[in-house]
Amino acid sequence: MKKTEVAGNAVYSVAKIVAIILAVMFIYRLGTMAYSYGERLFGEPPMTTGPGIDIVITIDASDTVKDVAEKVVDAGLARDVTLFTIQEKLLGTKQGIQPGTYTLNTSQTPEEIIQAMSALPAGEEDTQE
């Protein structure tokens, strides 16, 4: 009876240690992924360095932020639709992305692209307070 009790306690102890190690590994991996994503979110580099390539994108009034993100990614101006969408929300531009035709460059960061597409057309003033 005592041997089975000792064996049972040993197995239980080993199982607890393994569970703790797995939990620590999971938390570490999750933390590194979150850090990496956060780093990209706030410091995503442009697609190219140097002069880059000009690309024309047309945004329709009916386009959602996700539609715009898909156009930007498909054009080769950003890497990730979800990341671009979150970046647009975090920038919190007052008027949001405006419809129009934009000449953007692959050397622009996603933040610069969002700011360019959020600017009011020349001659219009922002009257919303």
Given this model, what pLDDT does residue 95 score?
81
Specify the fold of 54-118.
Answer: Dna Ligase; domain 1 (3.30.1490)
Position 129 scores a pLDDT of: 39
Q: What percent of the chain has pLDDT over 90?
A: 65
pTM of the model as a whole:
0.71
Q: What number is the average pLDDT over the span 108-126?
A: 77
Contact 113, 75 (CB under 8 A): no
Is the pLDDT score of 124 beyond 80?
no
